[in-house]
Amino acid sequence: MKNFLSLTMLAAASTASPVLLPRAEGLVYNYTNSFGLAFSQMNASLPNITVFATGGTIAGSGSSSSSTTGYSIGSVTVSALIDAVPEVLNISNIAGVQISNVGSEDITSDILLKLAKQINEVICGDPTMSGAVVTHGTDTMEESAFFLDSTVTCGKPVVIVGAMRPSTAISADGPSNLLQAVTVAVDPKSKDRGALVVLNDRIASAFYITKNNANTLETFKPVEQGFLGVLTSDEPFYYYPAVTPTGKISFDISSVTSIPRVDILYSYQNMQNDTLYNAVSSGAKGIVIAGAGAGGVSTSFNYALEDVINRFSIPIVQSYRTNAGEVPQSDVSSTTATHIGSGFYTPQKSRILLGLLLATGNSFDDISSAFAKSRAA
């Protein structure tokens, strides 16, 4: 849809309207693009970037400069975030949109739909926009990044960034991460790589990245696949040209209004079958198992899986609870029910993918085929 949004309309689509960011003294002129995003520019030749803020630690504050735990999440606005890093104005003209201001555990599918649709419209739909930066909490960042990787497909850079330490910490990593994210977003070499995650001097594909540590700065890693690139003195360097990950699926969400509920169940010794039936009775339309090893569950629970698949026609994807690996179809196949091996998708990314497949009207067989594209075996 090509209708142009006024400031009022765009404000209604998010929790706050685009903000006009102050600039240092000097030659300044105002520019409002056709989608209502307001820029205050010092150099009209610089790329235009919009920062979509959702909250998280990067927008958090603590009681002291030494507090790196127990801080308040989502207490700093997008305007304050950008004002704290004036260096971004040397490389781009910035507009900001406050999508939400919550911890990433409170990011919902409704927020993700709103975010993806806004990026598709005001970034992909405007030739004057070079890309987007999304500030986000790290705990569920990989899920939101994977969602954007699957639903924003115009080729412009979409860079997701966060922090492991709050903005008030003496060793806060947020300002440097934000500057690097904007630097990556304006780099022409960042195009056609899907959504990117930038933290701690590293550039990674949202398709593969996962959080590996609850506390340390060097937490986001694509364990098997490796990083796409590195930043040295805030200069991006890519190891490889742009390439599409094997099995990647893109979705048109322009007509999607909601994402069906998909639950994740964690496999463990003496796992009880009632957890599965409770998920079904509570409204789950799809289920992902974080299985032991390559998707493994107990014999009793496997019987329950087959009962649910056959009686309720609910797709069940078997993934892994380990930090990396693959669930090949041969490890979950059965002659009495259609089990689905997740391939290389983690449980959390399997949940996002299964939800999008259900939301876009795919059949059971289509869902099984979609996951098969990511499997090596």
For the annotated catalytic residues, the residue numbers are: 57, 138
Distance CA 295, CA 280 (A): 20
Asked whether the CA dihedral 213, 219, 220, 225 is positive or negative, the reply is negative
Q: Is 307 annotated as a binding residue?
A: no
| Amino acid, single-letter form, for residue 186 | V
Q: What 3-state DSSP class applies to 235?
A: strand
Contact 192, 88 (CB under 8 A): no
Helix, strand, coil percent content, the chain, rounded in steps of 5 = 30, 20, 50
What is the rounded (10 degree) CA torsion for 44, 49, 52, 56?
-110
Q: Is 104 annotated as a binding residue?
A: yes
The β-bridge relationship of strands 316-320 and 286-291 is parallel
Of 224, 183, 214, residue with least CA distance to 201: 183
CA atoms within 13 A on the CB side of 17: 13
| Amino acid, single-letter form, for residue 326 | E
Contact 61, 81 (CB under 8 A): no
Q: Is 139 annotated as a binding residue?
A: yes
Q: Report phi then psi at 11, rounded to 5.
A: -60, -40
Distance CA 121, CA 83 (A): 26
The neighbouring-strand residues paired with 231 are: 236
Please, what is the Cα angle at 156 between 155 and 159, to 5 degrees? 115
Of 69, 68, 71, 97, residue with least CA distance to 82: 97
- Separation of CA 48 from chain center: 21
Both tokens of residue 196?
């990117």
Q: Could you tell me which residues are annotated as the binding site?
A: 104, 138-139
Q: Could you tell me which residues are annotated as the binding site for substrate?
A: 104, 138-139
